[in-house]
Each structure stands twice: as structure tokens, then as C-alpha cells.
């Protein structure tokens, strides 16, 4: 597969002796150019450790997952085009910088994806947000589209598709089909998630070779109920308190 297993790597600043440094499980290497795993920094691993802990209460779960969501959004924004932009500083000097080019929009896959909307708004004030509701059909076990509401001009926008857990990739894949039917080019879609399974990553990278995936961690795999392992349980239930 294109995903290598998770390795235990030393975590922490390099000035500490190797044998003094804590070791942690970090996300494995990835072979797909379109899949971007956040840098496995001590901060990120500590945040993930908190939200994976079954004893973490809802308030902390929301607070710390929001910090990771913020990192994902910032990384997602790094993939948008910029153009040169010069400004004058209060000292009368010029600074040759850049500014964002293009319009964006968030699309959350209900219900868990809605938990990522605030993190997107924190970075992009008054960003437009569309919604897609996909649920598994009990009879066929296949994902089924129930509802979508998207900005009319979505085909002209860069889309940040939001779903915290990319397990099989099934619902997100259906969401991508909806976006493509609305005229959104695959290369303009950035799929953001906190934790992905190798299966979900494979599914996306092979089916949509131009779509970018940005994730904080690629876990070991899926259990028999398609939960990500080691995972963090049901993200929506932990975020919305519906356990
Ligand atoms: N959705 C979740 O919330 N958790 C998983 O492990 C898989 C899908």
C-alpha cells in the first residue's frame, strides 16, 4: 500500500539526550503526493493524545480538537494560490509579500464535519459554508445522500471539505461526487480530517489523484464496525455530547 505503518519515534526538542526524550507513536510515512500529514510535532502528538483518551471530558475534547482543527485549516490555506503583494510598513519601507488569491468555501459533511466549521471561521472570517448530509443506508450498507446546500458559485471557489474522521472514505467520496457535479474541479478540493485510516487514504488518493487530503494522523486501520483504530471513538458523539 501507499501507507507505511506507524512508528514509535522520539518526540521533543533535539537538545535533549536521546535516551531522555519521550517516545511516542507518530503517523507513518506516506507515498502519495496529494496526501499531506501535519508535521508530527510534540504539540500535535500531545493534543492527539488528549483527544484519543477515553477519559477526556467533552469540554477538553472540544478545546483540544479545535486546536488541531486550526492547524489543519492553516495547512489547508497554505495550498491556495497567492500573488505578489507589496506593502509599505509604518517605517516607510516596502515589504515584498504575497496575498491570497481566489475565493474559498467550507463544506461540512454532517454531522461530525460541522464541528470543524468554527475552526475554519476563526481563520477565514465570514467564510461561506455549505453542508452535505450523507448517511449509511441500513438496507444496502452504502452511503446515501440525504441533503445538500451549497453556495451557487461553488464552481468558482476552492473548497475545504470538512470531516474529522476519514474511515472508509465512503461518505466523503459521495460528497466529492456532489461537488464535482456542481462543477468544482478536483484539484480545487482540499479534504481536511483529524484522523484517517490507511484504507480511507488509499481510497481517496487512487480515486481522486488531483484532490488534496490534509490530515493530522494516519492510524493503523479499521475494526469490524469500520471504526478507526486506535482512533478516538465516535467524533460526533464526543463533540456533541450524544454518547
Ligand atoms: N467516524 C468516527 O467518528 N469515528 C471513527 O472511528 C470512524 C468514523
pLDDT of 5: 59
In the chain, where are the structural domains located? 7-240
Is 140 a catalytic site residue? yes
pLDDT of 2: 61
**Residue (of 205, 189, 161) closest to 30 by Cα position:** 205
State in Å: Cα 218 to ligand 1 middle: 13
What three-state secondary structure class fits 74? helix
Q: Would you state the CATH architecture of domain 7-240?
A: 3-Layer(aba) Sandwich (3.40)
Q: Using an 8 Å Cβ cutoff, are 129 and 107 in contact?
A: yes
Residue 15 has pLDDT above 80, yes or no: no
CA pair distance 141, 3, nearest whole angstrom: 26
Label residue 6 by pLDDT band (50, 70, 90).
Answer: low
Residue 3 has pLDDT above 70, yes or no: no
- List pLDDT tens digits, range 195-238: 999 999 999 899 999 999 999 999 999 999 999 999 999 999 99
- List pLDDT tens digits, range 92-107: 999 999 999 989 999 9
Is 237 a catalytic site residue? yes
Atom 4 in ligand 1: residue holding the nearest Cα: 234
Is 156 a catalytic site residue? no
User: In Å, how far are 36, 58, 190 from 74, measured between CA atoms?
Assistant: 13, 24, 12
Amino acid at each position: 500500500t501507499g501507507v507505511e505503518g506507524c512508528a514509535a519515534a522520539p518526540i521533543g526538542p533535539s537538545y535533549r539526550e536521546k535516551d531522555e526524550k519521550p517516545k511516542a507513536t507518530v503517523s507513518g510515512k506516506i507515498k502519495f503526493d496529494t496526501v499531506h500529514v501535519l508535521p508530527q510535532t510534540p504539540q500535535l502528538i500531545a493534543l492527539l493524545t488528549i483527544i484519543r483518551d477515553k477519559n477526556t471530558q467533552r469540554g477538553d475534547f472540544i478545546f483540544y480538537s479545535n486546536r488541531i482543527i486550526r492547524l489543519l485549516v492553516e495547512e489547508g490555506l497554505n495550498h491556495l494560490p497567492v500573488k505578489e503583494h507589496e506593502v509599505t510598513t509604518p517605517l516607510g519601507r516596502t515589504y515584498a509579500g504575497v496575498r491570497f488569491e481566489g475565493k474559498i468555501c467550507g463544506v461540512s459533511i454532517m454531522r461530525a464535519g460541522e464541528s470543524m466549521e468554527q475552526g475554519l471561521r476563526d481563520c477565514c472570517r465570514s467564510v461561506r459554508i455549505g453542508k452535505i448530509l450523507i448517511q449509511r443506508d441500513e438496507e444496502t450498507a452504502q452511503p446515501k445522500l440525504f441533503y445538500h446546500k451549497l453556495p451557487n458559485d461553488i464552481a468558482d471557489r476552492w473548497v475545504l471539505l470538512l470531516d474529522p474522521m476519514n474511515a472508509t472514505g465512503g461518505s466523503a467520496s459521495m460528497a466529492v461526487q456532489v461537488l464535482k457535479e456542481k462543477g468544482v474541479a478536483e484539484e480545487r478540493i482540499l479534504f481536511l480530517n483529524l484522523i484517517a485510516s490507511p484504507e480511507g487514504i488509499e481510497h481517496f488518493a487512487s480515486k481522486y489523484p488531483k484532490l488534496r487530503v490534509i490530515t493530522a494522523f494516519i492510524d493503523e486501520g479499521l475494526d469490524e464496525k469500520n471504526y478507526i483504530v486506535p482512533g478516538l471513538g465516535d467524533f460526533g458523539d464526543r463533540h456533541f455530547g450524544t454518547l
